[in-house]
Structure 1
Amino acid sequence: MTSTTLYDRCAQDAAASVITAYSTSFALACRLLGPRVRTQVRSIYALVRVADEIVDGAAEDAGVPRSTQRLLLDEFEAETLTAIDRGFSTNLIVHAFALAARECGIDGELVRPFFASMRTDLTRTEHDARSHDDYVYGSAEVVGLMCLQVFVNAGRATPIAPIPDLVAGARRLGAAFQDVNFLRDRADDEGRLGRDYLRIDGGAARVEVLARIDGDLDVAAQAIPRLPADCRRAVTAAHGLFAELARRLREDDRDDVRVSVPTPVKAAIAAKAIAGRPPRRSAL
Structure 2
Amino acid sequence: MSRRSRREEPTGLDLYDRTAQDAAATVIARYSTSFNLACRLLGPRPRPHVRNVYALVRVADEIVDGPAAAAGLSPEAAGRVLDDLEADTLAAVERGFSANLVVHAFARTARECGIGEALVRPFFTSMRTDLSTTRHDDSSHDEYVFGSAEVVGLMCLQVFVNAGAPHPLTPSPELVDGARRLGAAFQDVNFLRDLEHDASALGRDYLGLGSGAVTRDAVLDRIDADLAAAAAVVPQLPADCRRAVTAAHDLFAELSRRLRASPGSTERVRVPDAVKARLAARAWLGFSPRDVRA
The TM-score with structure 2 as length reference comes to: 0.95
Is the Cα–Cα contact under 8 Å of residues 186 and 255 in structure 1 kept in the other structure? no
Partner of 1:66: 75
The answer to whether the aligner puts 1:264 opposite 2:274 as a matched pair is yes
1:227 pairs with 220, 232, 237, which one? Answer: 237
1:50-73, Cα deviation, whole Å (9 max, x unpaired): 000100021011121111000000
- Partners in 2 of 1:283 and 1:21 — Cα distance? 33
Query: What displacement does 1:253 show?
Result: 1.7
- Partners in 1 of 2:243 and 2:293 — Cα distance? 22
Partner of 1:179: 188
- Partners in 1 of 2:204 and 2:237 — Cα distance? 35
- Partners in 2 of 1:157 and 1:68 — Cα distance? 41
After TM superposition, which residue ranges in structure 1, 4 or more long, deviate above 4 angstroms? 201-204
Partner of 1:192: 201
SS of equivalent residue, structure 1 residue 36: coil
Query: What displacement does 1:203 show?
Result: 11
- Partners in 1 of 2:213 and 2:172 — Cα distance? 38
Long gaps (5+) in structure 1: none
Query: What displacement does 1:255 show?
Result: 5.0
- Partners in 2 of 1:167 and 1:57 — Cα distance? 32
Count of aligned positions? 284
Partner of 2:41: 32
2:253 pairs with 235, 240, 243, which one? Answer: 243
Partner of 1:213: 223
Query: What displacement does 1:166 show?
Result: 0.4
Is the Cα–Cα contact under 8 Å of residues 188 and 219 in structure 2 kept in the other structure? yes
Partner of 2:19: 10
- Partners in 1 of 2:292 and 2:186 — Cα distance? 15
1:253 pairs with 260, 263, 269, which one? Answer: 263
- Amino acid corresponding to residue 148 of structure 1 in structure 2: L
1:115 pairs with 124, 127, 130, which one? Answer: 124
Query: What displacement does 1:254 show?
Result: 3.1
Partner of 2:4: none
Partner of 1:158: 167
- Partners in 1 of 2:218 and 2:133 — Cα distance? 23
Quote the sequence identity (%): 65
Q: How does 1:2-151 map to 2 (within 5 A)?
A: 2-151=11-160
- Partners in 1 of 2:70 and 2:270 — Cα distance? 25
The TM-score with structure 1 as length reference comes to: 0.98
Is the Cα–Cα contact under 8 Å of residues 207 and 214 in structure 2 kept in the other structure? no
- Amino acid corresponding to residue 105 of structure 2 in structure 1: A
Query: What displacement does 1:281 show?
Result: 1.5
The answer to whether the aligner puts 1:280 opposite 2:290 as a matched pair is yes
Deviates more, 1:250-259 or 1:208-217: 250-259
- Partners in 1 of 2:158 and 2:230 — Cα distance? 16
- Partners in 1 of 2:208 and 2:138 — Cα distance? 9
- Partners in 2 of 1:215 and 1:61 — Cα distance? 38
1:218-267, Cα deviation, whole Å (9 max, x unpaired): 00000111100000000000000000000000001235200000000000
- Partners in 2 of 1:256 and 1:63 — Cα distance? 29
Is the Cα–Cα contact under 8 Å of residues 244 and 261 in structure 1 kept in the other structure? yes
- Partners in 2 of 1:80 and 1:243 — Cα distance? 33
Query: What displacement does 1:125 show?
Result: 0.4
- Amino acid corresponding to residue 235 of structure 2 in structure 1: P
Is the Cα–Cα contact under 8 Å of residues 187 and 255 in structure 1 kept in the other structure? no
- Partners in 1 of 2:158 and 2:139 — Cα distance? 26
Against the structure 1 CA distance between its residues 46 and 216, is the aligned structure 2 distance closer, same or farther, given a 3 Å change threshold?
A: same
